[in-house]
Amino acid sequence: MLKVGILAIQGGIEEHEAHLRQLGVDTVQIKKPGQLANCHGIILPGGESTAIGKTLLETSIAQEIIEKSKVGMPIWGTCAGMILLAKEIENQTENYLKLLDITVHRNGYGRQIDSFKTEAIIPAISKEPIPLVFIRAPYVTRVGSDVKVLLQLDGKIVAVQQNNILGTSFHPELTDDLRFHEYFLKMVRKFALEKE
């Protein structure tokens, strides 16, 4: 059975878990080094990137994620999770895993639209619009040549993919829609098959 780890330091862990379970996948909350060993993918949830990042770098889970990414394991960061993956963070000096060749702007959306809901068509995922929830979200201000832009909203890049690594400014786990999780699971399934 496919098994997906969810980094469980802080943030929207259970919501991702519920979506994955609805899609028939086994999940494991990653709290300690070693737990990623038999996973086929990992999700870095939203939350507070400074808090999650600090704890993450204090453990060897960070190194384990970096090693898994090198062998092609799919990794998806939502919101704070995307900040943890970014190579550069525009408005702060420290950065974390540096696995995704993008620059992000933390809390990029101004105060009056700190949090908002909208919908958009993401061609890689579906021809029908997908509901999008943004909560004090970052957006992407630079993408490397290897990075595919999956969605741009009002001129701002909010979903990207670099090979096995996905980043979204928004939170599909906070909607009833499962299509973004299905897209990630397609990557996970492919990786699991190649590994066998």
Number of residues that bind ligand GLN (CB under 6 A): 11
Site for ligand GLN in 54-83 (CB under 6 A): 79-80, 83
Query: Is residue 136 annotated as involved in ligand binding?
Result: yes
Phi, psi of 149 (to 5 degrees): -85, 120
Binding mask 133-172 for ligand GLN (x = CB under 6 A): --xx------------------------------------
Alpha-carbon distances of 41 from 108, 109, 146, 176, rounded to whole Å = 28, 29, 21, 21
Angle at Cα 124 formed by Cα 120 and Cα 125, nearest 5°? 65
Which of the residues are catalytic?
79, 171, 173
Alpha-carbon distances of 131 from 59, 94, 102, 170, 177, rounded to whole Å = 35, 32, 24, 10, 7
Site for ligand GLN in 118-137 (CB under 6 A): 135-136
> Near ligand GLN by CB under 6 A, which window of 23-31, 32-40, 44-52, 178-186?
44-52
Does residue 47 bind ligand GLN (CB under 6 A)?
yes
- For residues 54 and 83, is the Cβ–Cβ distance under 8 A? no
The Cα–Cα gap between 23 and 35 comes to 21
Site for ligand GLN in 79-108 (CB under 6 A): 79-80, 83, 106-107
Closest contact distance (angstroms) between CB of 126 and ligand GLN is 23
Query: Is residue 46 annotated as involved in ligand binding?
Result: no
Q: Which of 3, 28, 48, 103 binds ligand GLN (CB under 6 A)?
A: 48
> Near ligand GLN by CB under 6 A, which window of 24-32, 33-41, 46-54, 93-101?
46-54
Strands 156-162 and 148-153: what pairing? Answer: antiparallel
Angle at Cα 195 formed by Cα 193 and Cα 196, nearest 5°? 70
User: Under the rule (CB under 6 A), what is the footprint of ligand GLN?
Assistant: 46-49, 79-80, 83, 106-107, 135-136
